[in-house]
Structures are given as C-alpha cells and as structure tokens.
Amino acid sequence: MARQFDVPTFYRSPVVSRVKEARRLADPRKKDLSPSVLDFGPVRFKLARHFGFCYGVENAIEIAYKALDEANGRRVFLLSEMIHNPHVNEDLQSRGIKFLRTTSGEQLIPFDELTPDDIVIIPAFGTTLEIEAHLRELGVNVEAYDTTCPFVEKVWTRSSQIAKKDFSVVIHGKHYHEETQATFSHAQSGAPAVVVRDLDETRLLTAVIRGEKDRDFFYETFKGRYSGGFDPDRDLVRVGVVNQTTMLATETTEIAALVRQALMDRYGDDGIQHFADTSDTLCYATNENQNATRALIDDGADIAIIVGGTNSSNTSHLVELCEEVMPTYFVTGPEGLLTPDAITHFDLHQKEMITSTDWLPKHRPLNVLLTAGASCPDVLLDQVMERICSWEDSPLTVEEALAPFNPVS
C-alpha cells in the first residue's frame, strides 16, 4: 500500500479528492488515462487522470509542517521556496518560516546569520553540495529537515554510478533552475557535466560529439553550463543523460536517443559501449501527469485551465502541451478568474501575468479541460470550478456532479 502522508487538511478538497479516490479504487494499476468528467449542466469539467501533489511534494509538505510543530521557539528557515506553489509558500511564511534565498539565488538573509540552533529546511528540489557544506560549517543540521524528493536523489545516485564508470553526464534541464543546479553540483563532483535545455541544444552538442564542430564551438555554445576543466575532445567520448525531473519525459528520451545515435555515428558498432542508459531515472509522477494531460487533450475541450505556480517547471510543460491545441489559461488559483469576461493568467512567452478578455466561450454546454502541476493543492481546483459555476444559471449541485464517483454499494 502506498504511504500516506500527513498533509494539512486544508490542502485537501471535498470534490477533487473524492474523484481521485474513486478513480484509484476503480483503477489501482493506473492503466486508464481517460479523464474524469464532472458535469454541472451548463459546464462540464474534464479532469486529468493524474495531477496535483506527487509523492515528493507530499513528503516535503509533511516535513515542513513537522518542523514548525517541533520548533519549540527555534527559528525556522527554508533555503528557498519549498515547492513552486505560491499558496503553499505563503501559508508557511504566515506561520513564521523565513526564506533564506529566492528561487533565482538572490540571498534574502545571509547564511552567516544562522546559528546551530536554527532549523533549516532543504526544499524538495534539493541543493548544491557547496551550500550544504557551508551550512554544515555554520553548525546547521542539514539532514534533520531535508525534503529533497527521492526521485531527485535517484538522479544524483545514477549520475554517481555512471561517473564511476568514466562516463560524463549530460543533464537535460534549465541551467538556472534550483534542481538542475543541485544535480549539476552532485554530478560534477564525480564526472564532467554539461547542461542542455532542449532538443535544439542537444543537436548542437551532438555535432561536437560527431566531430562536426570543434572545441571552441562547444565552449562558446555552452558557456556557463559545463563543469570546470571540461574537455569536449576527452569528455564527450563516454556519455550518459539524466534530467531535471520536471522536464518533459518524452523530450528527455529523445535527447538520450540523439546522444546515443551520435556516439554510434562516431564510433560505429562500438558506440553502444560509449552510452550509459539512464532511462530508469525518469520521474514517474512527471511522466504520469504528462501522459494524462495528453489523454485529456485527445478527449477534447473548448478551453484549458492549468493551475499551479508560475515558476513551476512541470506545470509550464502541461501548459505547453495544451497550448498547441486549444486556448489555454495558466492561473495560480481561483483569484485569477475575475469575471466571465476577464481572466488574469501567466503568459509563458512574455513571462508575466496578463489579463485577457472574452476568455470564456459563450456557448453551452461548455467543456473545460482542468489539470494542475505536481505542487498544486487539490482544493484550488475545487475553487476554480466553484468560481466558474457561480457564473452559470442553475448549475447542477456538487453532489449531482459527483454521482458517477460515489462508492458502489
């Protein structure tokens, strides 16, 4: 049986949680990716089979609130945002937790102000070996409240394993993201490492692997994203690919395939010996959420609403998937849904909050695709549905909409 985490009840929901539990009981092996439909009459919400808090996030939330309970007057700090969700982080701050840094690395409180008596929570993304070492020098117990996701740690372990076999590590991720920085730190401690953002950057890297581009090209193209002393002539001979766990899993697979093929092209049949298979490091939750979103898209809808933190990488990829086929609105919660004619949402391309008008189609019945990132509380989706239904004439009640998900007597 899956572990049950002690997550505050106010993050749970009376609607979405019932739907999730009904789907779990009906499909314990998680084979059915069809959406869950909540029909309120004028509006039908199509919920993804998988979304919301994953194992790593629930683990992090449990540890953070445990730290507050056990503080006994001690100061409690988070290294940075525990997870990328403003509602969760704001609640923790309201209870007295202070952030030491921003997610971009800006120092808010100098580390040197910490004392051995302080509690410092390591976020779910983990942190770098350098920061860990500095905190230990200050006498901080970094292990006591470490919320690093086990699946992030799995990537670190796999990187270490292939490093011991003289493989270099290619990391698929956003070089500025905390998790990628942590993974890069751990990887480079045992092997040469380089970060690629996407397939286009990987194609540039594979041109170097094949010998089509020289070392100067590598240094210019990947400036600031390779480990010290990296020598492309020496360090791109034996390679393994790992990822920032919140990236598109399908893209990581394609990146690994490109690197593998480049090594085959360079070294012929022996090329397979130059590639380390690390496909077992892909995060199950990220993969499930992305596959469920694709199934949701295939089922069709008039618009998509994606709920999550604007700096959440895994949420942004769900938005990208939906944007390809329908009008999509990325909101942090129900507060963004102003009126049927105005919505405040995050524009991934402009990297800012914008307000759009005439966003909610007029025809009825209306089909709304609804899903969320891995750090989003289910209750926010309840509130989004409640907000939209409040604008409708004579919608069905929650209990009527939930009837298909009632336990079978």
Tell me the pLDDT tens digit for each residue of 22-52.
Answer: 999 999 999 999 999 999 999 999 999 999 9
Q: Where in the chain is the domain with CATH 3.40.1010.20?
A: 13-54+285-405
3-class DSSP assignment, residue 161: helix
Instruction: Identify the architecture of domain 159-244+247-282 in CATH.
Output: 3-Layer(aba) Sandwich (3.40)
pLDDT, position 236: 98
Of 225, 119, 236, whose CA–CA distance to 167 is shortest? Answer: 236
Average pLDDT over residues 76-101: 92
Measured distance CA(1)–CA(366) in Å, rounded: 38
At 178, list the tokens.
């905390």
Residues recognised as catalytic: 179
- Among 81-95, 366-380, 385-399, the least confident range: 81-95
> Domain 13-54+285-405 adopts which CATH fold?
Cobalt-precorrin-4 Transmethylase; domain 1 (3.40.1010)
Query: Does the reported pTM lie above 0.85?
Result: yes
Q: What is the mean pLDDT of residues 120-124?
A: 95
Give per-residue pLDDT as tens, 159-191.
Answer: 999 999 999 999 999 999 999 999 999 999 999
Strands (E), 200-327: 239-243, 275-276, 303-307
User: Where are the domain boundaries for CATH 3.40.50.11270 in the chain?
Assistant: 55-137
pLDDT of the residue at 318: 96
d(CA 47, CA 52): 11
pLDDT over 90 (residue 104): no
pLDDT at 389: 97
% of the chain exceeding 70 in pLDDT: 99
Supply φ then ψ for residue 274, to 5 degrees: -95, 0
**Mean pLDDT computed over every residue of the chain:** 94
Integer Cα distance of 336 and 198 in angstroms: 30
With CA atoms as reference, report the closest residue to 179 among 82, 291, 63: 82
Whether residue 377 contacts residue 85, with contact meaning beta carbons closer than 8 Å, is answered with: yes
Residue-wise pLDDT tens digits, 344-367: 999 999 999 999 999 999 999 999
Ordered DSSP codes for 191-209: S-EEEE-SHHHHHHHHHHH
Q: Which CATH class is domain 55-137?
A: alpha beta
At 2 the pLDDT is: 61
DSSP E strand boundaries for 182-264: 193-196, 239-243
pLDDT of residue 408: 63
Q: Is the pLDDT of residue 233 over 60?
A: yes
Asked if the model's pLDDT at residue 1 lies above 60, the reply is no
AA letter at 48: A
pLDDT of residue 336: 97
